């Protein structure tokens, strides 16, 4: 029996087991929306802006093991989706975005709501397709899901002209797909794995550096097992948080521009570094030449060969799925009984404990102003450290990363690569739909939340009781911090004037809004927001936080990992520089 | 350093723009690019001449391989290879220049493929250096027009780029 292209699309999505499609209708996708209307298998979530559709689908994917799906119309619908697509691309999130297109004869005619979606998204997708032949539609959807989720994951755009959705064809969904020009590697080279293990067996100051690849690659169990069996220190990148449990003693915290003192110092002074699904980006190692000025052997495990030796030359590249490679490493270590030399390791830990003892995340408490760090710490306590946290971009994002030690992977959802303000709220909605029983909180700021605040309406419609934790300091905080440090306190356009009454906004959308101005109220209000009475409600907490608070430690542009700007309490300390062969005999 | 890359890719709409887009997005250089279908109509063969440090060339090859439609990439510089470029050059050929131009074309093993009272059009094939040498060898002021294809390359002997 012949069915329409729109029906073929819907049937294909059903075949893929899609639960939710996040989207927004329009002229070019009317046929598809009609087919959606006539089916019950998946739910459509109507957002209020296409950017939010893509962020919600992205977070749905980040917080589960499924491929997120977004559906937008041609022209402005498609261009609105681009920020969301680029966000997912930078963080390697598997997603399929379907965009409507004008009918094939109208393509290139500057038709109403026409835009070259395949051209516009080409640099920010893993792959994209324009489907001109209805007979290729089902196979293209199959390929799109396969490409999105395999290898290094990423978003795939499928652009479908309106006439293709209207024409008729037989529906056959392919059972499998093989693409001769695309064969992702899974297993690492055994010889390279052996070299890596041998390096560890000679290491004096080993360190394991884990990025988002371990989260996306579901390798958290293997990371934890390897770190535990070796007894070595471990750090996570912003994208890797949760891959190794944040409260564990062997975890040194996040590293990078706003990483802990101990995580960054260990990164600089380790002698054998195992990088797992991480890419040595500028916000992590800052300047490559300074990072490499301290000699170290680097093992780099990544599924994407182009991530290896991009910014930093490595000694042992291992291309493969991190989960498989780590499993092979663990098996080899068990088989050979190789270990990290214990005396050296003990000394290394003494050094690390000294660095850790400075407590670089210490901040000055206040009874007068609400400290943003305090809010995040209380949130951690009250949610038992179990909530799924989404964030926007700025100071609040860094405080969330620093003060909420994530227990498990896929618990922390943020736009790490692209740094997209406006990600947090739609992401929280997507995460809540993927995890209906979880507590979901969006840590945001008064700047970021206003970039997609219309999604409060979506949250109402779909009953997603997320808690919005707005750290409202009446500034674009990170911009203000940079202006304070590097632009002589000239706060150019970073003050958020004419702010709305967020409580009234929340109420207008049918939610609960609470303003918090007194530090003493932080804990009780958070308890109330997470109480059974408000379990089913979206609660918008507008915390008026200390305007002058800055994020520390901080590595300035052009500085090295061991040249951090330290928090006030560490500035007067006489910290001895690292010495390679120091005697730790009398310490600790 | 100059490198000559051979790329086998799916003969699909948009594949070329992905390759070119990659070079501009990542600020790599393209000195020349040639592309056409192969004996297998589903595949295109592309030759890109580029330059950059070893690290940059390594990244270019990796990034090219990452493109879904790219089947294989080889750096022809890694072993013996042959490269050829074709040039069509139209020159003023009057008076004493007419005989001189014919002689130069012969020396460079070029062929005159179009003749008018005042002009010759010469077809010349060889390495890019040879074509440059021809341009250097003749009087600049007689050149009316040049069209060059960019280099095409192939490995010597048994070295084959195939699926």
- A108-143 exposure pattern, b = at least 16 Cβ within 10 A, e = fewer: eeebebbbebbebbbebbbbbbbbbebeebbebbbb
d(CA B31, CA B4): 10
For residue B87 the two structure tokens come to 């040039």
Looking at chain A, which residue has its C-alpha nearest residue B18? A122
How many Cβ atoms are within 10 Å of A475's Cβ, its own excluded?
A: 24
What does the block give as tokens for A351?
């050094």
A439 touches A388 (CB < 8 A): yes
| CB atoms closer than 10 angstroms to residue A578 | 15
Three-state SS at A503: helix
Name the residue among A118, A123, A310 with its Cβ closest to that of B14: A118
d(CA A165, CA A338): 60
ipTM passes above 0.90:
yes
Contact B56, B28 (CB under 8 A): yes
Give the residue on B whose Cα is nearest the Cα of A314. Answer: B55
**By the 8 A CB rule, do A84 and A50 touch?**
yes
Length of chain A measured in residues:
588
Q: How far apart are CA A424 and CA A396, in angstroms?
A: 11
Alpha-carbon separation of residue A498 from A368, A421, A453, A502, A572 (angstroms): 24, 19, 16, 12, 40
The token pair at A556 is 């300035």
Instruction: Name the residue facing A182 among B17, B63, B68 (closest C-beta).
Output: B68
**Using CA atoms, how far apart are residues A308 and B59, in angstroms rounded to an integer?**
9
What structural domains does chain A harbor? 2-170 (3.40.50.970), 190-357 (3.40.50.1220), 372-544 (3.40.50.970)
Residue of B17, B57, B66, B73 to mutate, interface with A, max A Cβ within 10 Å: B66
Residue A588 confidence (pLDDT): 44
β-bridge mates for residue A23, sequence order: A46, A71
Nearest to A414 by CA among A396, A432, A438: A396
**C-alpha atoms less than 13 angstroms from C-alpha of B78 in its C-beta half-sphere:** 10
Nearest residue, CB atoms, B59 vs list A123, A179, A310? A310
Chain B residues with beta carbon closer than 8 angstroms to that of A127: 68
Cβ(B61)–Cβ(B51) below 8 Å: no
- Three-class DSSP category at B33: strand
Q: For position A149, what pLDDT does the model report?
A: 97
In angstroms, the separation between the Cα of residue B71 and the nearest Cα of chain A is 4
- B163/A180 touch (CB, cutoff 8 Å), yes or no: yes
Integer-rounded Cα Rg, in Å, for chain B is 18
How would you write the pLDDT of chain A (588 residues) with one tens digit per residue? 999 999 999 999 999 999 999 999 999 999 999 999 999 999 999 999 999 999 999 999 999 999 999 999 999 999 999 999 999 999 999 999 999 999 999 999 999 999 999 999 999 999 999 999 999 999 999 999 999 999 999 999 999 999 999 999 999 999 999 999 999 999 999 999 999 999 999 999 999 999 999 999 999 999 999 999 999 999 999 999 999 999 999 999 999 999 999 999 999 999 999 999 999 999 999 999 999 999 999 999 999 999 999 999 999 999 999 999 999 999 999 999 999 999 999 999 999 999 999 999 999 999 999 999 999 999 999 999 999 999 999 999 999 999 999 999 999 999 999 999 999 999 999 999 999 999 999 999 999 999 999 999 999 999 999 999 999 999 999 999 999 999 999 999 998 889 999 999 999 999 999 999 999 999 999 999 999 999 999 999 999 999 999 999 999 999 999 999 999 999 999 898 898 878 776 554
Q: Which residues of B touch A118 (CB under 8 A)?
A: 14
The SS3 call for residue B126 is strand
Q: Inspect the interface and report whether the beta carbons of A122 and B66 lie closer than 8 Å.
A: no
pLDDT higher than threshold 90 for residue B163: no
Return the structure tokens found at B50. 């580029």
The CA-atom distances, in angstroms, between A211 and each of A245, A314, A340, A374 are 13, 16, 22, 26
Closest alpha carbon to A315 in A303, A300, A332, A302: A300
Contacts of A305 in chain B (CB under 8 A): 62, 65-66
Both tokens of A434, joined, read 């993927």
Select from A458, A472, A470, A468 the least CA-distant residue to A530.
Answer: A468
Q: SS3 for A367?
A: coil
Q: Is B66 in contact with A306 (Cβ distance < 8 A)?
A: yes
pLDDT in tens, B51-66: 999 999 999 999 999 9
Cβ–Cβ contacts within 10 Å for residue A104, how many?
16
Q: Which residue reads 């192939």 in tokens?
A: B154
Count the residues in chain B.
Answer: 163
* Residue A266 φ then ψ, to 5°: -65, -35
Contacts of residue B21 in chain A, CB cutoff 8 Å?
122-123
Nearest to A181 among B13, B59, B69 (CB): B69
Give exposure, A67-96, as e/b (b: 16+ Cβ within 10 Å).
Answer: bbbbbbbbbebbbbbbbbbbbbbbbbbbbb
Concatenated DSSP letters of A232-261: --EEE-TTTTTSS-TTSTTEEEE-STT--H
Contacts of A341 (CB under 8 A, 6+ apart): A201, A202, A203, A204
Say how far residue A97 (Cα) sits from the centre of its chain: 18
* Strands B152-155 and B81-92, sheet pairing: antiparallel
Q: C-alpha A315: how far from its chain's center?
A: 28
Residue A162 designated active-site: yes
Check CB contact of A524 with chain B, cutoff 8 Å.
no
**Is residue A113 among the annotated active site residues?**
yes
At A582 the pLDDT is 81
Report helix angle A5-15 to A30-37, nearest 10: 60
- At residue A585, the pLDDT reads 63
Choose, from A50, A262, A446, A549, the residue flagged as catalytic: A50
Nearest CB neighbour to A306, from listed B9, B17, B63: B63
> CB of A153 within 8 A of CB of A94?
yes
Distance from C-alpha of A410 to C-alpha of A302, rounded to nearest angstrom:
19
Q: Which of A265, A478, A554, A564 is catalytic?
A: A478
Tokens of A327: 């499993």
Question: Is the link from the previous residue into A553 a cis peptide, with omega within 30 of 0?
Answer: yes
Residue B10 and residue A181: Cβ atoms within 8 Å?
A: yes
CB A96 within 8 A of CB A67: yes
The verdict on a CB contact (< 8 Å) between B71 and A123 is no
Query: Residue A409's pLDDT is what?
Result: 98
What is the distance between the alpha carbons of residues A323 and A305, in angstroms, rounded to a whole number? Answer: 16
Does the pLDDT value for residue B32 go beyond 60?
Answer: yes
Tokens 């003192």 sit on residue: A261
- A215 contacts A153 by C-beta, under 8 angstroms: no
As given in the structure block, the two tokens for residue A355 are: 């660095």
Where do the domains of chain B lie, and which CATH numbers do they carry? Answer: 2-78 (3.30.70.260), 82-152 (3.30.70.1150)
- How many cross-chain Cβ pairs, A to B, lie less than 8 Å apart? 37
| Residue B50 and residue B60 in contact, taking contact as beta carbons nearer than 8 Å | yes
Contact A181 B71 (CB under 8 A): yes
Crossing angle of helices A322-336 and A220-230, rounded to 10°: 30
- Select the residue of A119, A123, A179 nearest B68 (Cβ to Cβ): A179
With an 8 Å Cβ cutoff, are A181 and B70 in contact? Answer: yes
Q: Which residues have a Cβ under 8 Å from the Cβ of B104 and sit 6 or more positions away? A: B110, B134, B137, B138
Strand pairing of A168-170 and A297-302? unpaired
Is residue B105's pLDDT more than 70? yes
Count Cβ atoms below 10 Å from residue B90 Cβ, excluding itself: 17
Q: Which residues pair with B124 in a beta bridge?
A: B87
CB contacts, 8 Å: A182 with chain B: 68
């Amino acid at each position: 029996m012949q069915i329409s292209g729109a029906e073929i699309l819907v049937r294909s999505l059903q075949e893929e087991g899609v639960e939710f499609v996040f989207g927004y209708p329009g002229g070019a996708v009317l046929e598809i929306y009609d087919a959606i209307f006539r089916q019950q298998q998946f739910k459509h979530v109507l957002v209020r802006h296409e950017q939010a559709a893509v962020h919600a689908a992205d977070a749905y994917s980040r917080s589960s093991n499924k491929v997120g799906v977004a559906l937008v119309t041609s022209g402005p619908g498609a261009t609105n989706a681009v920020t969301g697509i680029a966000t997912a691309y930078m963080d390697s999130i598997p997603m399929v975005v379907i965009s409507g297109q004008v009918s094939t004869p109208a393509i290139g005619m500057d038709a109403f709501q026409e835009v070259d979606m395949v051209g516009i998204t080409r640099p920010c997708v893993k792959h994209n397709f324009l489907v001109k032949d209805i007979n290729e539609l089902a196979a293209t959807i199959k390929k799109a899901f396969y490409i999105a989720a395999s290898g290094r994951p990423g978003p795939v755009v499928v652009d479908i002209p309106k006439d293709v959705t209207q024409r008729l064809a037989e529906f056959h969904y392919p059972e499998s797909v093989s693409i001769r020009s695309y064969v992702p590697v899974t297993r690492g080279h055994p010889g390279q794995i052996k070299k890596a293990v041998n390096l560890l067996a000679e290491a004096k100051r080993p360190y394991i550096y884990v990025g988002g690849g371990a989260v996306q690659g579901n390798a958290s169990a293997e990371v934890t097992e390897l770190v535990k069996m070796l007894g070595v220190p471990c750090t996570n990148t912003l994208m890797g948080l949760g891959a190794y449990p944040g409260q564990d003693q062997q975890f040194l915290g996040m590293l990078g521009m706003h990483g802990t003192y101990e995580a960054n110092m260990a990164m600089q002074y380790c002698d054998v570094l195992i990088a797992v699904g991480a890419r040595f980006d500028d916000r992590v190692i800052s300047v490559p030449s300074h990072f490499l000025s301290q000699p170290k052997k680097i093992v780099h495990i990544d599924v994407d060969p182009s991530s290896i030796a991009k910014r930093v030359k490595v000694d042992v590249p291992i291309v493969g799925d991190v989960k498989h490679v780590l499993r092979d490493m663990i098996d080899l270590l068990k088989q050979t009984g190789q270990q990290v030399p214990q005396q050296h390791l003990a000394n290394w830990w003494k050094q690390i404990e000294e660095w850790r003892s400075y407590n670089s995340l210490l901040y000055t408490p206040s009874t007068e102003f609400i400290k943003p760090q305090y809010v995040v710490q209380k949130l951690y306590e009250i949610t038992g450290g179990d909530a799924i946290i989404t964030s926007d971009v700025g100071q609040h994002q860094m405080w969330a990363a620093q003060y909420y030690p994530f227990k498990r992977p896929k618990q922390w959802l943020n736009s790490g690569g692209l740094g997209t303000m406006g990600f947090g709220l739609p992401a929280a909605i997507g995460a809540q739909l993927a995890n209906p029983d979880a507590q979901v909180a969006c840590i945001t700021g008064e700047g970021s939340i206003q970039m997609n605040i219309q999604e409060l309406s979506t949250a109402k419609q779909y009953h997603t009781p997320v808690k919005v934790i707005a750290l409202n300091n009446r500034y674009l905080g990170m911009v203000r911090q940079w202006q304070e440090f590097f632009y002589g306190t000239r706060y150019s356009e970073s003050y958020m004037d004419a702010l709305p009454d967020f409580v009234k906004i929340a109420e207008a959308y049918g939610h609960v809004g609470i303003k918090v101005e007194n530090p003493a109220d932080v804990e009780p209000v958070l308890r109330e927001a997470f109480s059974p009475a408000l379990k089913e409600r979206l609660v918008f907490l507008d915390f008026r936080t200390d305007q002058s608070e800055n994020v520390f430690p901080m590595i300035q542009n052009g500085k090295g990992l061991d040249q951090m700007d330290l928090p006030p309490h560490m500035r007067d300390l006489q910290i001895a520089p690292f010495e390679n062969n120091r005697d730790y005999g009398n310490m600790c | 350093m100059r490198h000559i890359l051979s790329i086998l890719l799916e003969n699909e709409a948009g594949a070329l723009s992905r390759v070119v887009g990659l070079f501009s997005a990542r600020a790599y250089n393209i000195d020349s690019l040639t592309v056409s279908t192969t004996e297998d109509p589903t595949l295109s063969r592309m030759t890109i001449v580029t330059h950059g440090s070893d690290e940059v060339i390594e990244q270019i090859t990796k990034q090219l391989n990452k493109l879904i439609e790219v089947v294989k990439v080889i750096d022809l510089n890694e072993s013996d290879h042959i490269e050829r470029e074709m040039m069509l050059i139209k020159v003023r050929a009057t008076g004493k220049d007419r005989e001189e131009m014919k002689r130069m074309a012969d020396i460079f093993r070029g062929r005159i493929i179009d003749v008018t009272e005042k002009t010759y059009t010469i077809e010349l094939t060889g390495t890019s250096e040879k074509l440059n040498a021809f341009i250097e060898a003749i009087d600049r002021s007689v050149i009316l027009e040049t069209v060059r294809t960019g280099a095409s390359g192939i490995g010597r002997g048994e070295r084959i780029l195939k699926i």
